[in-house]
Structure formats: structure tokens, C-alpha cells
């Protein structure tokens, strides 16, 4: 069994990232799970992060769906899932173009690290704006009922960003949260969407030759940690509000993203 050559610090970061994948998926529908992306990218680099993280994400999706088997809002899924497939296809084209660009850069990581950091930073800013905007409201707004084209656009953009960075969780959260779904329905809908989206991403990653044996075995080692995280996430979903937890996650994410960008450009 050949693993990626990592230090113990890198392994700690990987384990922490895998645990957060499970916790945030099963507990909060992956909206706060953005911290796991830059954390894993810092540990192994964005080029390794994409294939190593994908099986962990799918594992978290499957075990979360088991805990929320009937809590889904199908109108959203009918809009988001087909358009996500289109977005993954567009992301595949971008990956091919980035692969060609490595002839000049020398490494796909040199391109993906700042790209992942930038995507995470934009989504983090949007999430923080939403968090503080809602906290200032004296009355809760009426539930948002998205039009079909809204869902198609969001699903497509999320598919592209997910393919390039696994960082579409905040975008889907921004789409679902204003609809004021029941907490368990919100989580069940989000993880069902991500399951289909992540499963489709196996195709472009495989065609790009990303699944080397060291990456596959490294990801396999992390799967039990994801399962533990989903169990913890279900417990947190029942006992705590996600707002305070999310704020801590966003603060940690900002630190991780800034480090990723500093390392990429300096």
C-alpha cells in the first residue's frame, strides 16, 4: 500500500479535513464545510487535493443520506442535479485547458492553488455577508421560492466550481437557506445534490489521470474518519444551531485561504 509521502503535520491536516467533511455534511449540509478544502489543499497541494478529497466527499454524502433518507426537497433537486452535470462538463474542459497550461507553469498545483484559494475567498465573503445581514434583520424574510432558471444557473456554476475546487457548498447553501426549509430537509437536499455531483466528477478526474495509487490509498485511509465525522455531525445537528459553529468555521477558513494564497504568490 503506497501512500502519498506526507509529514505528520500534513497527516494531521488531512485527518482534520476529513473529519470536517463528515461533520459539516451530516450536521449542516456542507455550507460550512468550505474550511476542509483549503485545509486539505495546504496539506497536499490542490493537484492532489482534488482526487484525494473526492472519495471522502462521496463517503460523507452516502452516510449523510443514510441519516436523512426521506428529508429532501425534490423541486430543488430536479433543477440542481441536471444543471450540475452540465457544470461538471464545463469544469472538465477547464481542467483540460489548465493541464495544457502546466507546460508553462511546470505543475498543475501552481495554477490550482491560487484558483482554489480565490474561489474559497469569494464564497467565504458571500457567506459572511449573508451571516451578518441576517443577524441585523428585525423580521425574518419570507421564504424564497426560486424560479427554474435560478436553479439551473446555480447548479451549473456550482458544478464548475466543484470540479475545480470542491468548494461549491457555500453556493448551494446560499441558494437553499433563503427558502427556509426545515433543518433536516435542508441537509438531506444538500447532501443528495452533492452525492450526484461528486459521483459525476469521477469521470473527468479519471480521464485526466488523477487517480494514481498513492492518492487512492491515501483517500482510503481517510474514509473511516469521514464516517466518524458524519456521526458527530448528526449529533450536532440535533443539539446545536449551525450559526455559531459556522462563524468559527469561516474564521478558520479565512486563515487557511490567506495562507494558500500567500504561499502561491510569494
E strands, 82-132, are none
Q: How much is the pLDDT for 171?
A: 78
Q: Please give the DSSP secondary-structure letter assigned to residue 146.
A: -
pLDDT in tens, 208-218: 899 999 999 99
Checking if the pLDDT of 220 tops 90, the result is: yes
Kindly report which listed range (46-55, 130-139, 230-239) carries the lowest average pLDDT score. Answer: 130-139
How many CB atoms within 10 Å of residue 176? 24
- Asked if residue 84 lies in contact with residue 196, where contact means CB atoms within 8 angstroms, the answer is yes
Q: Between 160 and 28, name the one with better pLDDT.
A: 160
Q: How far apart are CA 95 and CA 159, in angstroms?
A: 13
Q: Which of 95, 121, 96, 115 is nearest to 34 (CA)?
A: 121
pLDDT mean across residues, the chain = 82
Q: Print burial letters for 223-249: b (CB count within 10 Å at least 16), e (below 16).
A: bebbbebbebbbebbeeeebeebbbeb
260: exposed, middle or buried (Cβ count in 10 Å: 0-12, 13-18, 19+): buried
* Domain boundaries of the chain, sorted by first residue: 8-265
Amino acid at each position: 500500500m503506497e501512500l502519498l509521502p506526507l509529514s505528520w503535520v500534513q497527516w494531521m491536516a488531512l485527518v482534520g479535513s476529513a473529519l470536517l467533511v463528515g461533520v459539516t455534511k451530516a450536521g449542516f449540509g456542507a455550507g460550512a464545510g468550505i474550511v476542509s478544502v483549503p485545509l486539505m489543499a495546504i496539506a497536499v497541494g490542490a493537484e492532489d487535493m482534488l482526487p484525494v478529497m473526492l472519495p471522502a466527499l462521496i463517503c460523507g454524502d452516502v452516510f449523510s443520506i443514510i441519516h436523512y433518507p426521506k428529508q429532501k426537497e425534490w423541486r430543488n433537486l430536479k433543477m440542481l442535479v441536471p444543471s450540475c452535470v452540465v457544470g461538471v462538463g464545463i469544469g472538465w474542459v477547464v481542467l483540460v485547458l489548465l493541464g495544457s497550461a502546466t507546460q508553462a507553469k511546470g505543475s498543475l498545483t501552481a495554477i490550482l492553488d491560487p484558483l482554489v484559494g480565490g474561489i474559497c475567498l469569494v464564497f467565504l465573503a458571500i457567506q459572511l455577508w449573508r451571516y451578518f445581514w441576517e443577524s441585523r434583520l428585525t423580521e425574518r424574510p419570507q421564504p424564497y421560492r426560486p424560479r427554474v432558471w435560478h436553479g439551473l444557473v446555480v447548479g451549473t456554476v456550482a458544478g464548475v466550481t466543484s470540479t475545480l475546487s470542491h468548494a461549491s457548498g457555500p453556493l448551494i447553501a446560499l441558494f437553499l437557506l433563503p427558502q427556509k426549509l426545515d433543518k433536516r430537509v435542508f441537509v438531506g437536499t444538500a447532501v443528495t445534490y452533492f452525492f450526484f455531483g461528486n459521483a459525476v466528477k469521477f469521470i473527468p478526474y479519471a480521464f485526466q489521470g488523477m487517480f494514481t495509487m498513492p492518492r487512492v490509498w491515501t483517500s482510503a485511509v481517510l474514509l473511516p474518519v469521514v464516517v466518524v465525522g458524519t456521526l458527530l455531525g448528526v449529533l450536532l445537528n440535533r443539539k446545536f444551531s449551525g450559526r455559531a459553529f459556522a462563524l468559527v468555521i469561516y474564521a478558520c477558513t479565512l486563515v487557511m485561504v490567506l495562507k494558500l494564497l500567500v504561499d502561491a504568490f510569494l
